[in-house]
């Protein structure tokens, strides 16, 4: 009987601690948390019934060209123009190899902090629909003004608090890496891997925002490219 009482008390304490851990997410619309893997702090925001990171992920070993990768490293990232400062502002650009290693057994969780995961296409669509649909949602998602986005960012309000930044993307092969579209667009990974019959291959779905309009484009990944990551709460 005494042993049962101890077990019940322990379970109650565990439950109380767990509720306390998530209390901020339940009662607040935004806040911050620390990624225990490297001590970085990230802002988060509640949009509808979802909780998203309000900053791009920035963790992992920086690489320069595909040939230089270390296959034993779980998380690898590019920084625009090979400059770490760009990663601190815009987050890392993650190659498909990192995404592929993050998904099969870990249910898309391993690249994101504990308690968060890489969103699938449906979770992105819920966000887009909540903000008015693919034709206008970009205005609520993008950071307003031209501090990071270049001119022609009119109609952008960032009313959601998502604060999408135009970190661009990169393409790579075994010889060189090309960095493209910083200040003009951003591309985010999803964990959804689709088979495209016309190409007879599978590609991950990505989400793209651009400066010249407020559309949100959902499309297949370009071959050998690296994009930004936003994590969503479990």
Residue 225 has a CB neighbour count (10 Å cut-off) of 19
d(C-alpha 108, C-alpha 97), whole Å = 13
Residue 213 has a CB neighbour count (10 Å cut-off) of 17
Q: What value, to the nearest 5°, has the Cα angle with vertex 155 and ends 119 and 150?
A: 80
Q: Which phi and psi (to 5°) does residue 214 adopt?
A: -110, 25
- Predicted confidence at residue 67, as pLDDT, reads 47
Give residue for tokens 């990505």: 206
Residue 19 has a CB neighbour count (10 Å cut-off) of 10
Tokens of 37: 């893997």
Q: Which phi and psi (to 5°) does residue 24 adopt?
A: -60, -40
d(C-alpha 204, C-alpha 118), whole Å = 12
* Blockwise average pLDDT, block size 10, the chain, 234 residues: 47 44 62 95 98 97 65 78 96 89 58 93 97 97 94 89 97 86 96 67 86 93 88 95
**How would DSSP label each residue in 14-60?**
HHHHHHHHHHHHHH-SEEEEE-TTT--EEEEEEETTEEEESS----S
What are the residue ranges spanned by the domains of the chain? 31-233
First to last CA, the chain: 36
Alpha-helix runs per DSSP H in 81-162: 84-90, 96-102, 121-130, 137-141
- Predicted confidence at residue 10, as pLDDT, reads 42
Pairing of strands 225-227, 94-95: antiparallel
């Amino acid at each position: 009987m005494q042993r049962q009482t101890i077990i019940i008390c322990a379970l109650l304490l565990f439950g109380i601690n767990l509720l306390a851990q998530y209390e901020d997410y339940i009662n607040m619309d935004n806040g911050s948390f620390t990624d225990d893997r490297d001590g970085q702090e990230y802002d988060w925001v509640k949009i509808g019934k979802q909780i998203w990171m309000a900053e791009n992920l920035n963790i992992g070993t920086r690489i320069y060209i595909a040939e230089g990768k270390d296959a034993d490293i779980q998380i690898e990232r590019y920084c625009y123009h090979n400059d770490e400062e760009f990663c601190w502002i815009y987050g890392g650009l993650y190659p498909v190899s990192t995404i592929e290693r993050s998904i099969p057994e870990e249910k898309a969780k391993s690249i994101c902090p504990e308690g968060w995961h890489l969103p699938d296409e449906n979770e992105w669509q819920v966000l887009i629909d909540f903000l008015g649909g693919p034709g206008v949602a970009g205005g609520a998602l993008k950071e307003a003004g031209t501090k990071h986005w270049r001119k022609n960012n009119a109609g952008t309000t960032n009313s959601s608090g998502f604060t999408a930044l135009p970190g661009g993307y990169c393409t790579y092969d075994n010889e060189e890496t090309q960095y493209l579209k910083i200040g003009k667009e951003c591309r985010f990974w999803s964990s959804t891997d689709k088979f495209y019959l016309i190409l007879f291959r599978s590609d991950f779905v990505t989400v793209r925002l651009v400066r010249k309009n407020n559309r949100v484009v959902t499309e297949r990944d370009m071959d050998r490219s690296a994009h930004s990551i936003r994590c969503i709460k479990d």
